């Protein structure tokens, strides 16, 4: 089968991450602009989650065969750490994902105007009533679950053709409980891209929270990769020894029947 070139894969990651940020993150200021209030109601949170999920489903089927549609540094690092992706490809993928996230955030402003920045641009942050430890735990758990599903969906033994749906639904489900604590970034590129653009556009950015997000998301991705490997580890069966001639039995027929 013909393989795509490395530059093609990187361009796919740029485009994919940009689309994810534009649709997923863009749904946050769009919802606020329409509703005119925050925090979100459950219905509003559901629509934001659905936007992310549908973007992921569409991208898996459109660029998955080109670059793997990782569009998330936590997925990339999880794959590399577990030997499923060469480390030499990692820097390019990470750079492409961050560039894509920046472009996606810029596209939000291009479509919604500066009002998107005024309502936060969907920049990930945790509130004053959420501790750094709680935020770390939320992002670690959310990212762990997402990457674990990714590993399962791409397993050769998984049902074919359903990876996009499985991963998209996982994104939808994970955002619901995690978003109230941290915004459910669960993706270092999605975290960083809007922050960079928000800063350039004069928005409010809590840079002191960035290390919490990045460390939790990277740790969650790598831990998920190793957890999936551990769950699916199989011992190599010992080779069978050649059959030996049976020794003459000294037992009576009745005794043989009891011992067998």
Q: Using one digit for the tens of pLDDT, what is the confidence trace for 180-202? A: 889 999 999 999 999 999 999 99
Quick: pLDDT tens for 112-139.
999 999 999 999 999 888 999 999 999 9
Does residue 255 carry a pLDDT above 90? no
Res 44: pLDDT: 83
258 band by pLDDT with thresholds 50, 70 and 90:
very low
Residue 51, domain member (yes or no): yes
Output the domain CATH number for residue 104: 1.20.1080.10
Residue 162, domain member (yes or no): yes
Q: Using a pLDDT cut of 70, give the percent of the chain over it.
A: 86
Structure-token match 């990212």, residue found: 143
Q: Which of 138, 106, 134 is nearest to 122 (CA)?
A: 106
Q: φ, ψ for residue 101 (rounded to 5)?
A: -65, -40
Residue 254, domain member (yes or no): no
Residue 203, domain member (yes or no): yes
| Tokens, residue 86 | 């060469």
193 and 121 Cβ atoms separated by less than 8 Å = no
Quick: pLDDT tens for 59-118.
999 999 999 999 999 999 999 999 999 999 999 999 999 999 999 999 999 999 999 999
Residue 138, domain member (yes or no): yes
Number of domains in the chain: 1
Does residue 222 carry a pLDDT above 80? yes
The residue segments making up the domain with residue 145 are 6-232
Q: CA–CA distance from 250 to each of 55, 258, 259, 260 (Å)?
A: 74, 14, 13, 14
Residue 260, domain member (yes or no): no
Q: Is the peptide bond preceding residue 39 cis, with omega within 30 degrees of 0? A: yes
The C-alpha torsion from 24 through 26 and 27 to 31, rounded to 10°, is 160
Res 256: pLDDT: 34
The pTM score is 0.83
What's the gap between Cα 12 and its chain centre? Answer: 16
28 band by pLDDT with thresholds 50, 70 and 90:
confident
Residue 255, domain member (yes or no): no
Residue 258, domain member (yes or no): no
């Amino acid at each position: 089968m013909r393989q795509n070139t490395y530059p093609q894969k990187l361009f796919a990651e740029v485009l994919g991450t940009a689309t994810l940020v534009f649709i997923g993150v863009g749904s946050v200021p769009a919802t606020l602009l329409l509703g005119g209030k925050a925090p979100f109601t459950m219905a509003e949170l559901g629509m934001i989650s659905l936007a992310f999920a549908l973007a992921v489903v569409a991208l898996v089927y459109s660029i998955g065969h080109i670059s793997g549609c990782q569009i998330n540094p936590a997925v990339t690092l999880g794959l590399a750490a577990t030997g499923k992706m060469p480390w030499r490809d990692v820097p390019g993928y990470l750079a492409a994902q961050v560039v894509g996230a920046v472009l996606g955030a810029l596209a939000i402003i291009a479509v919604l105007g500066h009002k998107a920045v005024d309502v936060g641009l969907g920049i990930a942050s945790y509130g004053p009533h959420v501790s750094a430890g709680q935020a770390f735990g939320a992002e670690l758990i959310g990212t762990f679950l997402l990457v674990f599903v990714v590993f399962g969906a791409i397993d050769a033994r998984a049902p074919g053709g359903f990876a996009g749906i499985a991963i998209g639904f996982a994104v939808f489900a994970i955002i619901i409980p995690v978003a109230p604590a941290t915004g459910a970034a669960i993706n270092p590129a999605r975290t960083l891209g809007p922050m960079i653009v928000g800063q350039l556009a004069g928005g409010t950015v809590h840079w002191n929270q960035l290390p919490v997000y990045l460390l939790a998301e990277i740790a969650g991705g790598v831990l998920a990769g190793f957890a999936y490997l551990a769950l699916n580890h199989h011992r190599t069966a010992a080779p069978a020894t050649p059959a030996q001639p049976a020794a003459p039995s000294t037992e009576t027929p009745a005794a043989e029947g009891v011992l067998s």
